[in-house]
Amino acid sequence: MKLIFANRNYSSWSMRPWLVLRHFEIPFEEELTPLSGEHWKEAIQARSPTGKVPVLVDGDLVVPETIAIIEYLADLFPRKHIWPSDRRQRAQARAASAEMHAGFTALRKAAPMNIRASHPGRVSLDAVADDLRRIETLWGDLLDRSGGPYLFGIFCAADAMYAPLATRIRTYGLPASDTAEAYVEAIYALPAFQEWLAEAIKEPWIVEADEIDYIQRQARAGNGA
Ligand SMILES: N[C@@H](CCC(=O)N[C@@H](CS)C(=O)NCC(=O)O)C(=O)O
């Protein structure tokens, strides 16, 4: 089985299934295809039916889309409990993951994942206030119920889905309650996350389109990002 993914520093979607594979000790090969350099788009298009990564390749099966990859892994390895073992918790974990997949667009646009960077105060809080409020409620409710340190007690796929968001809180110094801060800490403490982080820091590539200066310049010029 092989996971094709992009820059560890910038590719939030890549991080999610990679954390699941590593944390649950599923053997896999890695193929990193950077989001920069000559012909990078063509390189991804040649590997992915959607033109996006991550993509999981298992024999002749090619699975794009983060959520579909995680579901495939959960199907393949039911004893690993990639989703919570309790049916009701599983429903909540899937709902939280679907919300992450489809939502938090303001935050994702204004505060792109950039793990190694530190840009406190650079993101307009007005632009992301609704998303931050929702995160506080969602994380707060789940952590209250589970007792932490992860959303459902022990690490599961829903935590992998929210891990990139935890890095955005750190990178941009976004305001977070003590509960949310403790959750961010727990994500950073996960050995699989530490491994990803250590490699992200070493990466040589700069993807200008994911850097806050570029995004804010584009927004000022009225191009969005
Ligand atoms: N819906 C996809 C999103 C994947 C995605 O947007 N991946 C980015 C990297 S983080 C990508 O491949 N970008 C290349 C491009 O848009 O050309 C998923 O859930 O996996």
Query: What domains are defined for the chain?
Result: 2-80 (3.40.30.10), 87-198 (1.20.1050.10)
pLDDT tens track for 95-119: 999 999 999 999 999 999 999 999 9
Kindly state if the Cβ of 159 falls inside 6 Å of ligand 1. no
Kindly state if the Cβ of 53 falls inside 6 Å of ligand 1. yes
Phi first, then psi, for residue 40 (nearest 5°) are -65, -35
Neighbour-count burial for 95-129, b at 16+ CB within 10 Å, e otherwise: ebbebbeeebebbbebbbbbbebeeeebbeeeebe
Q: Give which of 167, 168, 176 is closest to 196, Cα–Cα.
A: 167
Kindly state if the Cβ of 134 falls inside 6 Å of ligand 1. no
The confidence score (pLDDT) of residue 222 equals 84
pLDDT tens track for 156-215: 999 999 999 999 999 999 999 999 999 999 999 999 999 999 999 999 999 999 999 999
Q: Calculate how far, in angstroms, residue 85's C-alpha sits from the geometric centre of ligand 1.
A: 29
Q: Give which of 135, 105, 20 is closest to 66, Cα–Cα.
A: 20
Phi first, then psi, for residue 43 (nearest 5°) are -60, -40
Asked whether the beta carbons of 69 and 54 are under 8 A apart, the reply is: yes
Cis amide leading into 49 (omega within 30): no
Please name the residue whose Cα sits nearest to atom 9 of ligand 1: 11
Retrieve residue 187's tokens.
Answer: 């994500």
User: What is the spatial distance between Cα 97 and Cα 89, in angstroms, rounded to a whole number?
Assistant: 12
pLDDT tens track for 69-85: 999 999 999 999 999 99
Asked whether the beta carbons of 13 and 66 are under 8 A apart, the reply is: yes
Please name the residue whose Cα sits nearest to atom 10 of ligand 1: 11
pTM: predicted TM-score of the whole model, two decimal places: 0.97
